[in-house]
Copies of this chain bind each other. A is one copy, B any other.
Amino acid sequence: MSKAENVLKAWLRHRLVLLEVLDLLEDQHLNYKPWENAMTLQQLVTHILFSANMFAKAVKAGKIVPPASSNPPEVQTVSDLKKLAEEITEETKKTITEFSDEKLETPVDMTQLFGTHLPGKSILRIMNEHEIHHKGQLYVYLRLVGVKELPLFVKRQ
């Protein structure tokens, strides 16, 4: 297994849980936010999706690539959110799958975000940890809108 395949597998153990918990939502939960100025539930989900995609694209390009739109699309239904999540997940997967071992060692210009250059493998580590952090937050949101049963935070190995 290539290093990129290992990275992908480790990240999917969290992303697949994210996709799974979206099925527990109802449309009226999408704009829930637990405090003023918080991200809404859908903003939290799209932040996870588009951040991972941004990190993967940065490794590919060697630098941060500004997104096509400054705001992720807003959706009205859980079904549309799930569709969006699946599309972005496929795009991110495809990007990561193509990385050679050498690419993972190549420095990426992350000055804009972190004030420094970091090797691709470090960016992908941050990508994964960023996703776990915000998914943890999402778990509290889900409890607060009334979801009673949540899966383990990570798929078993």
Q: A116-B157, A133-B154 are in contact. List 18 more A-B contacts (CB 8 A).
A: A10-B125, A34-B34, A34-B144, A35-B144, A114-B156, A115-B156, A129-B129, A129-B132, A130-B153, A132-B132, A133-B135, A134-B136, A135-B136, A136-B139, A137-B137, A137-B139, A137-B140, A140-B140
Smallest beta-carbon distance A2→chain B, Å: 18
Taking a contact as CB atoms closer than 8 A, the residue among B115, B136, B157 that contacts A137 in the complex is B136
Contacting residues, chain B, for A115 (C-beta < 8 A): 156
Q: How large is the interface on A (under 10, 10 to 19, 20 to 34, 35 or more residues)?
A: 20 to 34
* A118: interface (CB < 8 Å): yes
Interface string of A17-37 (1 = CB under 8 A from B): 000000000000000001100
A61 within 8 Å of B (CB atoms)? no
